[in-house]
Homo-oligomer: A and B are copies of this chain.
Amino acid sequence: MAGLILACDFGGTKLSAAVLGAESLDRSDAAWQGHLRRFAPLGASAQTDIEMMVAMGRELLAGERPSHIGISFGGPVDYKSGVVRLSHHVPDWENVPIQQLFAEAFGAPVGVDNDANVAALGEWRFGAGRGVADLLYVTVSTGVGGGWILDGRPYRGASGMAGEIGHTVVDPSGPVCLCGKRGCVERLASGPYMAQDVAEARGLSLEAVTGKLVAEWAAAGEETAVSILERGAKGLGVGLGNAANLLNPSRIVLGGGVTKSGARWWQLVRQAAHETALPEVQFDIVPAQLGDDAPLWGAVALALLEGTVESH
């Protein structure tokens, strides 16, 4: 395989793009030939986002035509039609045919998917999931969401909604989630919800607490933070164990800011997950490896998939 791969990440208010020579992918030191990151201006819309990303792509490609394009989008995407359904961050993204727009702009095949599925693909192809045929990737961050690799290929579900582990219920007597249910994994384990619970329990303003602070306070032994962080770790672990019983993946990869909460957090997540799964259901739980560039590496993996195997 030869040519330049263009990887694009629409990450809410942050736009990133990079190019990679496809021939470098087989090398262990594969690295971007060019990389740009820009913040969308105040008053950004789908149209200004797209214009900015196309300009970044043209700048990186410097007149060359890409062989493949992969796009990660931070919001729901209809993978089959290549249409963005909406953005929770930027207006006017409803039903934008982004696959078609980029194919026309660059004259190359385009793959597009939501950020969780793309990150799963990236970790599978380039990161902590290499060599594994059955993989669950979960990001634990502002929200909790996931993506599947099953039988050696991405699995998206009947309407592209698979991976919503954040809204599986693990404690029906738990606190109420924005989705209306009690005890969702996201309600227990996401950064903003843990921060909210600590703020309320300690009588602090919501603005004064973040998920990162909860982890720091817990590390310093502050009791409320310890309790909320441990409840989150256990809730996430039960959700992962339930997912393991249902699908029997051999590996679970965790990414996102909350996974930086320390060894105790990891230990509790792993313990709850393995206690929840049947003894015959074996898997390991490992940290994601790709860091901030995960969506871009995932976009490369998606671009390669588009180019080499039949999409469904």
Contact = CB atoms under 8 A, between A and B. Distances in A.
A171 to B, nearest CB: 6
A242 B184 CA distance: 10
A297 to B, nearest CB: 24
Nearest to A159: B248
A286 interface: no
A76 interface: yes
Copies in the complex: 2
A242 B168 contact: yes
Nearest to A312: B151
Interface in A263-312: 275-276, 278, 280-283, 312
A35 interface: no
A130 to B, nearest CB: 15
Contacts of A169: 170, 238, 241-242, 276
B246 A164 contact: yes
A242 B179 CA distance: 14
Given A150-B155, A158-B133, A171-B171, A246 B248 contact: no
Contacts of A172: 170-171, 238
Contacts of A280: 76, 159, 161
Interface string A229-253: 0000000001001110111111000
Contacts of A181: 275-276
A139 to B, nearest CB: 15
Given A76-B280, A243-B246, A246-B163, A158 B134 contact: yes
Contact of A250 (B76, B151, B158, B238): B158
B245 A278 contact: no
Nearest to A250: B158
A160 B180 CA distance: 35
A172 B238 CA distance: 9
Contact of A281 (B134, B164, B171, B245): B164
A17 to B, nearest CB: 29
22 contacts: A133-B158, A134-B158, A151-B155, A155-B247, A157-B281, A158-B248, A158-B249, A159-B280, A161-B278, A161-B280, A163-B246, A164-B281, A165-B246, A167-B245, A168-B246, A169-B241, A169-B242, A169-B276, A170-B170, A171-B173, A181-B276, A246-B247
Q: Which 4 A-B pairs have the closest CB atoms?
A: A157-B248, A158-B250, A168-B242, A164-B245
Given A134-B158, A161-B245, A170-B170, 15 more contacts: A148-B247, A150-B155, A157-B249, A158-B249, A159-B280, A164-B245, A164-B248, A164-B278, A167-B245, A167-B278, A169-B238, A169-B276, A173-B173, A180-B275, A247-B247
